[in-house]
Chains A and B, each alone.
Chain A
Amino acid sequence: MSRGWLWLCWIWPLGLLLLPLVIVLRISLAEPRLAQPPYSPLWDVSADGAVSIDLHLDNYRLLLEDPLYVQAWLDSLGLAAGTALLCLVLAYPMAWAIAASPPRRRRLFLLLVMLPFWTSLLLRIYAWMGLLAPQGMLSQALLRLGVTEAPLAVLHSPTAVFIGMVYAYLPFMLLPIHASLDKLDPQLLEAAADLGCRPWQAFLRVALPLSLPGVLGGTVLVFVPALGEFVIPDLLGGPGSLLLGQVLWNEFFANRAWPVAAALALTLLGSMALFLLTWQFLQRRLGALA
């Protein structure tokens, strides 16, 4: 049997995933220049035909030397971890309730979870800006009801960023958890009860371990993109918010330092890869324990 055409399958991973990365890597090793394109060429052929290759590691050194980048990295890590945790706390009971409801209502609930995806994220974040603004609907309603005295000062604060992040990423946590809870056989819980488990014991010893793959999957789906998120902190965050996504924007646009921006992007990618590998290792260990 001829399998000659199978190489076609590699066009996607090699051409569309790896090639852009190689280009980013190449830019990260260049020097910023005032030219079109704004970085130094990788190699140079001199008049006598000698080829010289020009690599600069200064961009990576800058990332280590300036505390700004380390701080931005730590802040981003905090935001991503906080978002993942909040999403988990909110999504688990929701997923449980959805999985426990009758099939027709379950379909309706799942539809409601997916419904926001029919509108662009940018529009939905703008809607949140309108909701959270001091002259916005929420603030006005609270003022009228006498709950607060002063207009709401939530917009452009870390709280607003967390609200936006949890709002945007909740479905990515909810759906994997629901998928694993959905497969959970209710009879297992009944059996646990018959064997003398109290409901919370049955949950901790039976349901939770069985839904762990969903929890882990959801955490990765939320944590990884949240680490590099740009739009939500930029629109909802305060002037003090300086996360990796925003620092990257600054390097690229304000400083016109494409090589530094490329180095930063690769560092971010590297830390995500490290995180995913650790996660996979943990998952395997958990699997071995179960």
Chain B
Amino acid sequence: MKRRAHLCCLGLLLSLVAACGEGPDAESQSSPAASPSAGELNLYNWSDYIAPDTLRAFERETGIHVRYDVFDSNELLEAKLLAGGTGYDLVVPSASFVARQITAGVFQPLDKTRLPGMTGLDPAVMKLLAGYDPENRHALPWLWGTTGIGYNRGMITSRMADAPLDSWDLVFKPEVVSRFADCGVALLDTPSEILPLVLRFLGRPVDSQRPEDLAAAEAVLMAIRPHVRYFHSSQYINDLANGGICLVVGWNGDILMARERAREATEPQDIAYSIPREGSLVWVDTIAIPRDAPNLDNAYRFLEYILRPEVAAALSNHVHYANAIAASQPLLDEALREDPAVYPAPDTLTALFPNAVHTAAFDRLASRAWARIKRGQ
């Protein structure tokens, strides 16, 4: 919003400049008066979460000028949405956050008659999403993925030849994970993702809101805490790629991005991703229209545009996350389509589970426990 204020000032300044003489750059700036008659679209998305040509092709085709801003946490997006008046026409929150935001009245229901492309959406993903957004009334899937273990094969096997690479034992058993403390272990900095995984490791119900289950999960994390180097939700991409860490609980696409960078590095590293056999989290990021979106028609045009198989395929090919458009499959790079880290094998799929939505009281308990875990006492 701060940046938006700057843009306003810029727009004012530009119109002054334009009055004195037509500046050559006037059109490329975000002054509303300078854009073509089709108007504009304000899109707020995760960083590194779009293909290079997605927006350009849309602008060429429709004449709509897209203002594209990025964020790097669901919490940040949520704070803006709850404050209201974001000025965005489309935002990309994760499904587990969408449920709460719908209750808060942040989004408007979709007019499905304007989205004929919705028939191409994968029913399995839509069913998963309906757990957060009943009858899929408010949100479309953007991309989906899993949470799992990323590791540096060479560093792990040299420290433990028979490391349980396909099990949560690798991370949550102190006697195992302690062997990798020296080469660096990292966890996502989100209690809402790590705690259900620990509950699954313990064989307890993953959607539990009972304080004793939380306490048991906390005890597991406290026991491995001395061997964890840091908690962070994006820094591990670089560190895994350049050998700064060797083991991380993170998101599949990010770990695949690290794998790609590691191959190009001066000292190539062999990075792999594994979904433990006990099962792990599957999540969907969604795209939805805030209630106060200023350019509603353009928002629908963009939604219809990203429902096209070729657009969805280009998106997945670039960011290494799976999309929900069934017809995009043949257009995907073969390596991506065949990669079980992106499109898991059927028996892995059955072991995946979505994140539950918790009460505010439980969230507070969990974030309090998380603070204790990070502190290590």
Chain A interfacial positions (CB closer than 8 Å to B): 32, 34-38, 66, 68, 133-135, 156, 238-240, 242, 247, 250, 252-257
Contacts and interface: CB of A to CB of B under 8 A. Distances in A.
B255 interface: no
A36 B244 contact: no
A257 B104 contact: no
A253 B374 contact: no
Given A135-B242, A239-B228, A250-B367, A36 B105 contact: yes
Nearest to B105: A36
B36 interface: no
Contacts of A135: 242-244
Given A35-B105, A36-B105, A253 B376 contact: no
A239 B225 CA distance: 10
A68 B104 contact: no
B230 A253 contact: no
A156 B100 CA distance: 33
Contact of B364 (A134, A238, A242, A257): A257
Nearest to A238: B230
Interface in B350-377: 360, 363-364, 367-368, 371, 374-376
Contact of B229 (A68, A156, A255): A156
Contact of A68 (B78, B230, B371): B371
Given A135-B244, A254-B367, A34 B104 contact: yes
29 contacts: A35-B82, A35-B104, A36-B81, A36-B83, A36-B105, A37-B82, A37-B83, A38-B82, A38-B104, A68-B368, A134-B244, A239-B228, A239-B230, A239-B231, A242-B371, A242-B375, A250-B367, A252-B79, A253-B73, A253-B75, A253-B79, A254-B75, A254-B363, A255-B364, A255-B367, A256-B75, A256-B82, A256-B360, A257-B364
Contacts of A250: 367, 371
B313 interface: no
Contacts of A35: 82, 104-105
Q: Which 8 A-B pairs have the closest CB atoms?
A: A253-B75, A239-B374, A38-B82, A240-B375, A239-B231, A254-B367, A34-B104, A36-B84
